[in-house]
Amino acid sequence: MGEASLTKTFEFSASHRYYRDDWPEEENLRVFGKCAYPNGHGHNYLLEVTVKGAVDSVTGMVLNLVDLKQVVEEVLEEFDHRHLNEEMSYFRERIPTTENLATTLWDLIGQGLPEGSSLARIRLHEDEDLYVEYFGGA
């Protein structure tokens, strides 16, 4: 049987702020606008995780959804209801833009997936009008 992909959606909430300490205030405001306001702001992020793999001939599944749910929820537990700039080590050196958050989640979720399945796409919605997709390195 061939390969198939499967997408599951998750939700979490977090704060972020777009700001570079090595830039003057005006430069931060010019580039990042409202996103640079001092105390950050939050989103309800919607995360779509797409996993691909061969369909198991016994179970008929690419992977057990319970396993996927466990892997992703363990990763998101670290991010949920946090201020990404202030509380997360991943964003000490990088701004927690939606782009950077998507690639970080790719790395963390990808390494936890059970054998035989791999990530095909991460789609991270910041709000209903903006999302970022990552398909892995070039």
Q: Are 100 and 91 in contact (CB under 8 A)?
A: yes
In degrees and rounded to multiples of 5, residue 17 shows phi and psi of -145, 135
**Residue tagged active-site, from 41, 81, 86, 87:** 81
Nearest to 119 by CA among 45, 47, 44, 13: 47
For residue 62, what are the contacts with CB-CB under 8 A and spacing of at least 6? Answer: 3, 4, 5, 6, 51, 52, 53, 54, 55, 56, 117
In the list 49, 103, 109, 117, the residue contacting other proteins (rule: CB under 8 A) is: 103
For residue 35, indicate whether it is catalytic: yes
Interaction of residue 89 with other proteins, rule CB under 8 A? yes
Interaction of residue 15 with other proteins, rule CB under 8 A? no
Smallest separation (angstroms) from other proteins to the CB of 36: 11
CA dist 8 to 47, 95, 114, Å? 8, 26, 15
Interaction of residue 97 with other proteins, rule CB under 8 A? yes
For residue 133, indicate whether it is catalytic: no
Interaction of residue 31 with other proteins, rule CB under 8 A? yes
Residue 5 or 55: which CB sits closer to other proteins? 5
Can you give the binding site for other proteins, defined by CB under 8 A?
18, 20, 31-33, 89-90, 93-100, 102-104, 106-107, 128-138
Active-site amino acid positions: 35, 81, 126
